[in-house]
Amino acid sequence: MEPVAECLYDAGYIVSVINPALGKAFAQSEGLRNKTDTVDARMLAEFCRQKRPAAWEAPHPLERALRALVVRHQALTDMHTQELNRTETAREVQRPSIDAHLLWLEAELKRLEKQIKDLTDDDPDMKHRRKLLEKHPGYRERKHLRYCWLISV
């Protein structure tokens, strides 16, 4: 959903991102039972006309890039954990493949971490946040949390 909102925002449209439950409740309150794209579009337009939801602002492009890198880092971290778990029950014939994949994952995670560091170093505010976070006890053990913190503040 967010990529669509970002695209519309970047094109100059005013965008509101609402909780889907609000839209559904509004449709029910209006007695709309049919669910088609046309009906949904009209219902959402009427909802916005009546309720005037707040305009949404897209995150800064730096935050978008950082969020994408963090999501990728977390996916690779999860894969690494899965492969480590597989080593416990893998047959000997499978081990070289798993070991090679683990090596690749470790290298890619380091590359992503460097990319994230470089990206945050280019922005004084992000660099300051990262420096503060590095001073926090337990910083090394919780990499994904530090990245989430960087993008959520």
Supply the pLDDT for residue 140. Answer: 67
Q: Which two tokens stand for residue 6?
A: 């970002």
What is the rounded CA–CA span in Å between residue 99 and residue 127? 35
What is the rounded CA–CA span in Å between residue 60 and residue 52? 24
The parent domain of residue 15 ranges over 1-51
User: Is 43 within the bounds of a domain?
Assistant: yes
66 and 136 fall within a common domain: yes
User: Is 56 within the bounds of a domain?
Assistant: no
**Which one-letter amino acid corresponds to residue 105?**
L
- pLDDT mean by block of 10 residues, the chain; 153 residues: 86 90 85 80 89 90 88 94 96 97 97 91 84 75 61 57
133 and 90 fall within a common domain: yes
22 and 93 fall within a common domain: no
**Number of folded domains in the chain?**
2
